A and B are shown apart, each in its own frame.
Chain A
Amino acid sequence: MTVAFRRAEISRRSFMIGAAGLTFGVVSALRFPETEATGSAELALSPWVTISTDDKVAIMSPAAEMGQGSLTSLPLILAEELDADWSKVRVIVAPPNDELYKNPAFGYMYTAGSNAVTAYFKDLRRFGAQVRKVLLANAAQRWDVPVEELTTEPNVVVHEKSGRRLSYGEIAGFAQIPSKAPEVVESDLKRPDQFRLIGKDVMRVELQQKVNGTAQYSIDVQLPDLLYGAILRAPVEGAAPDATDDAKARSIAGVVRIVRLPYGVGVIAKTPWAAFDAKDSLEVTWSRTGKAWGFNSERALIAFAAAARDMSQPVKLWAKAGDATAALKTATMVVEAEYRNDLVYHAQMEPLNAVASVSPNGDACELWCGVQSKTIAVTVAAEALGISSDKIIYHDMLMGGGFGRRGHRDEEYVHDAVVLSNAVKKPVKMMWTREDDVHNGRFNPLSVHYLRAGFDSAGNLIALAMK
């Protein structure tokens, strides 16, 4: 089994809504260079599955891989119901397309909240079972036998009565795709005791690359004529550069361009060290706009704690069952606790970065990034350039950790890369230093929780109030 991080090329000829209300039908031109090299043909049986005549099964993986393993686990769920031979499966990273590959829990391609497996589970089983049904129907027609007499073994349709067998690859050589997706009912799915893959110890598809240095994160991207970008962002959100003294930055060998932005100052250079040096030597006076000037988190936490304990202040109820306030008054014993939650940095190991290459006339952009929502990244790039999303060529990269930091609606580090590349119309690897990553952090918010628990004389909990 292999994994392809190269961009899957998809052009849709037609889509039909199947009987089960699922997108099905024909996807053409899902191309894999290795297959072309071997001269085997391939058949897209659904937007999720392509089977080639050399018996390889390509399965789309729709979630973002940031170390949690869903690059492997999601296609594995589909492979289970397809009854695919996992050793013949190639995992393909799904391209940005919310309609086809959205996380059912969110309605778009977004990997967060530890829900990829649970959210995609039912649909992926159904998608796998649908393709298996198509293969069975084609084999039944070829052998002129009732489909009920057929079973599958990994990658093989079997007619036990006659001892005949057809591999999935052989069927791909002649299969007709139905115009309507086959309906899948519960009894079409495997019982858990029939699982060959789910629940088994399966090697993650990208793990080999993570022990020999070949795993590709966006920070690793290399391109001809690649320039390096750094950005000094405002000290607080909403502030803007008023005056910039960039004389020293410009004097650094290798600096190509200083770029004024509404929220900071960017530097483009021929080497990363020149870009970082130049960024550090910028002298910027910031406007006093923005709300956070003078904010002191230690003082804020003390104020939050006082507010949490002050019962005279109005509250907004989150949840209520019974009457804790009244019950507390009857309690024999009340236990109080205060929990302080400080600002917390995401601290993903790979400082945020992205690579963008804007075309010479600014009407298209190639993008390399590791993000928790690739369709957001495409939108961010398109909006930054004022062009349509179909002009963005997106390359999916592994993430050196996500932890929620790469899933914001603005994916601002992607924006940074795009605007810097747009300034020079050349490929730019925009990197935040670790210091930038902290400085531009979107920390876990401050909060103080004040809890009271009331117990009766027998020690039973009779009231719980949390503010």
Chain B
Amino acid sequence: MAWDFRVNGQAAHSNAPPDTPLLWVIREELKLTGTKYGCGTGLCGACMVHIDGQRAFSCQTQMSEVDGKAVTTIEGLSGDSSHPVQKAWLAERVPQCGYCQSGQIMSAADLLVRNPRPDRSQIVEHMSTNICRCGSYPRIIRAIERAAKEVAP
């Protein structure tokens, strides 16, 4: 089988078997390693990407579902770390080990598209798809609140 799709605005192609997780194609074929493998079962959120403008666990998305779709990874969120969420992440010094943070940022960016003025409980609810072993949650919430002020002042 052959799959044609778009990643970060560019044409992408893969011949991986239909049930191959998009995650591994992104990481090991397209060499976009910012998207992380954490659990492979949709429990940790480290693999979060956007597919046609909606967040999705790339480890739970099979190649057969991706054909013709547009995928955005952390590398495509902005060319220069200038997305409001990325800026807020730095301003709040969110990452520690950093491994989960691509997924966290992709989830947060998805939230602000859908709900530019989320309250704290909406942030917590939306971000419950993503876990952080270092425990950066308080800073994640603060960073999203900060980014929201820039997105919807």
Contact = CB atoms under 8 A, between A and B. Distances in A.
B16 A211 contact: no
- Most chain A Cβ neighbours within 10 Å, of B35, B37, B98: B98
Contacts of A398: 97-98
> Is the interface on chain B under 10, 10 to 19, 20 to 34, or 35 or more residues?
35 or more
B100 A349 contact: yes
Nearest to B76: A213
Interface stretch (B20-28, B111-119, B120-128): B20-28
B28 A349 contact: no
A219 B97 CA distance: 14
A211 B89 contact: yes
Contacts of A207: 90, 93, 95, 98
Contact of B35 (A66, A213, A348, A433): A213
B41 A211 contact: no
Secondary structure call for the B interface:
loop
Given A211-B86, A212-B75, A349 B32 contact: no
Interface residues of A, number: 40
Contacts of A403: 133
A107 B76 CA distance: 44
Interface string B50-83: 0000000000000000000000011101100100
A67 B139 CA distance: 14
B81 A211 contact: yes
A349 B75 CA distance: 20
B99 A217 contact: yes
B58 to A, nearest CB: 13
Nearest to B78: A212
Interface in B96-148: 96-102, 105, 131-134
Given A207-B90, A400-B36, A212 B74 contact: yes
B99 A222 contact: no
Contacts of A434: 38-41
B16 A271 contact: yes
A68 B95 CA distance: 10
B7 interface: no
Contact of B99 (A68, A203, A211, A401): A401
A98 interface: no
Contacts of A68: 96
B31 A222 contact: yes
Interface string A260-281: 0000000000011100000000
Interface string B1-44: 00000000000000011001100100110011111111111001
Contacts of B17: 253, 273
Contact of B98 (A210, A272, A347, A431): A210
Contact of B73 (A69, A213, A220, A433): A213
Given A398-B98, A400-B98, A208 B90 contact: yes
Contacts of B31: 222
A350 interface: yes
Contacts of B34: 212-215
Contacts of A66: 97
Contact of B101 (A204, A210, A222, A402): A210
B21 A400 contact: no
A58 B116 CA distance: 43
Given A209-B98, A210-B95, A213-B75, 16 more contacts: A67-B95, A208-B90, A211-B89, A211-B105, A212-B34, A212-B78, A213-B74, A272-B27, A348-B99, A349-B46, A349-B131, A350-B99, A402-B97, A433-B40, A434-B39, A434-B41
Interface of B: 16-17, 20-21, 24, 27-28, 31-41, 44, 46, 73-75, 77-78, 81, 86, 89-90, 93-102, 105, 131-134
Interface of A: 66-69, 203-204, 206-217, 219-220, 222, 228, 253, 271-273, 347-351, 398-403, 431, 433-434
29 contacts: A67-B96, A67-B134, A203-B90, A208-B90, A209-B98, A211-B86, A211-B95, A212-B77, A212-B81, A213-B32, A213-B75, A216-B33, A222-B33, A349-B38, A349-B46, A349-B99, A349-B131, A349-B132, A349-B133, A351-B37, A398-B97, A398-B98, A399-B97, A401-B97, A401-B133, A402-B97, A434-B38, A434-B40, A434-B41
